[in-house]
Every structure is written in structure tokens, then in C-alpha cells.
Amino acid sequence: MPALPILKLPIIVLMKILRTIDIGDVFPISLCSRKMYHLVKNFRDKTIPLKLYWSDRVKGLQSIMEYLSDLFGIKKVTSVTVTPDTMRLLDIIKERQGNDYELVTCTYLSMKQSHFILENHPAKVIRISGLSPNFPIGKYLQTVDSLFVGSKVSITLDDLLNMNCVELVLVSNHFTGTEMKGILQHWAIGGIRRLKYLRLDVEDLNLEDVFGELTHTWMTEKRKYKYV
């Protein structure tokens, strides 16, 4: 089979041409030949979403993921957004890189699906919403490093005092000033040793009461903590 005319151009010229082509066209070009594949593999440009259609969606996504990972030298997936239809992809990610990724879900999950994700795929970072209000999130505070929950869940003060998280954000749960005081006191004496960032909604917070018995440094300047 004769070589593609474009492949007769000098390599520097080829790379300049690739940089002028829309990233959406670069992918199909890489399928033309082995040489084009290697050229595109060294090509870098901005990312855009791709729309692809497969009879088996999961196998299709796996094929594309493996191909693009090899094409662009991606050693690991950093973030995975999961829907009920694509949960099987988590097994593929787990085989590929363990729990070293961020798992995101923005759709409603059944109780069974929620338990399945947190029990079998405790990614280092989990951003999850759509959980049932009576979902017992406390039992998973031992296995996830960074947990961000966007919906109200079932959790107790004991769950918080015994957690092993590095970062915990509960957006929709409400705690009393007394509960917050107990958490901070426990944290101050060495409990919750791994915790670096905690965000809770506290009702009727009396700062003097909460911090009065604690040894602390009162911040007079604004500092931002960049959580994962």
C-alpha cells in the first residue's frame, strides 16, 4: 500500500501541520497508519469531548481509554465520572491503577449502587452526591482519604470522632455548636490524627464557647486551604 502523501513531508513540517489541525480531527488521523499513530502520539493540544457510539458502551469506552492512554502517553486516569450505566468501568480502572484516582458521581444512585462503589472502589478522592438521606456514610470514613458529600446522609458524632479521613466535606448535614466543640476538642488532643481539612455546617455556633477551652491560634489574616 503506497504511503500517504502527507507522510512524504519532513517530520518538522508534519508536526507543524498537526498543530494547526483541530484536536477532534487528530484522533481519526492517528488511525491512518502506524507512522501517523507515532506522530500523533507526540502531539499535544487542548482537550475536547468526543461523541462515540458502541453497541457495548463499556467495552467501547475501555477500548477508547486504552487507545488514547497509549496514544498520548497517559500513565494513569486522574478522575472518573461515573453514572449508573458506566459503573462497570470502575473494575477496569481498579485493575489498571488500584484506588489512585478521583471518583465523581453527580447522578442519583440507589442504595445498592452507593454501597457497591464505596465498598469495592474506595478511590483516594470521592466526590459523591445523590445519596439517600438515610445512607450510612459513617461506615466508610475509615477507607476513603478525601470524601466530599453533596447530599444529606446519615452520620453520627461517633462516626466523625472515629474517622480516618484526611479531608471531609459534608455540605448538607447540620451539626450543633456542642457537637462541633466535641469534634474540635477530640481533634486537639490527638484524635482524628490524619485529618487536615474539615468542612461542616454548624447551627447556633458560639465561637467563645467552642474555642474558649481550646488551646488555639486565632487567625487574623485570611488564608485559603486548597483541598483536593
CA distances in angstroms from 126 to 59, 72, 99, 142, listed in the order given: 24, 26, 10, 13
Q: How many CB atoms lie within 10 A of CB 84?
A: 12
Give which of 54, 47, 55, 2 is closest to 27, Cα–Cα.
Answer: 47
pTM for this structure? 0.68
pLDDT averaged over every residue in the chain:
82
pLDDT at 221: 81
Residue ranges per structural domain of the chain? 76-211
190: left (phi over 0), alpha (psi -120 to 50) or beta: left
Q: What is the CA radius of gyration of the chain?
A: 24
User: What cell was used for 208?
Assistant: 467563645
Q: Of the ranges 3-17, 48-62, 189-203, which one carries the lowest mean pLDDT score?
A: 3-17
Q: Please name the residues in contact with 93: beta carbons below 8 A apart, sequence gap of 6 or more.
A: 77, 80, 101, 121
Average pLDDT over residues 126-139: 89
Q: The sheet that has 102-105: what strands, in order across it?
A: 79-81, 102-105, 125-128, 146-149, 167-176, 197-203
Residue predicted with more confidence, 110 or 49: 110
SS3 109: coil
pLDDT in tens, 167-179: 999 999 999 999 9
CA distances in angstroms from 195 to 55, 143, 228, listed in the order given: 45, 13, 13
SS3 219: coil
Residue 48 banded pLDDT, cuts 50, 70, 90: low
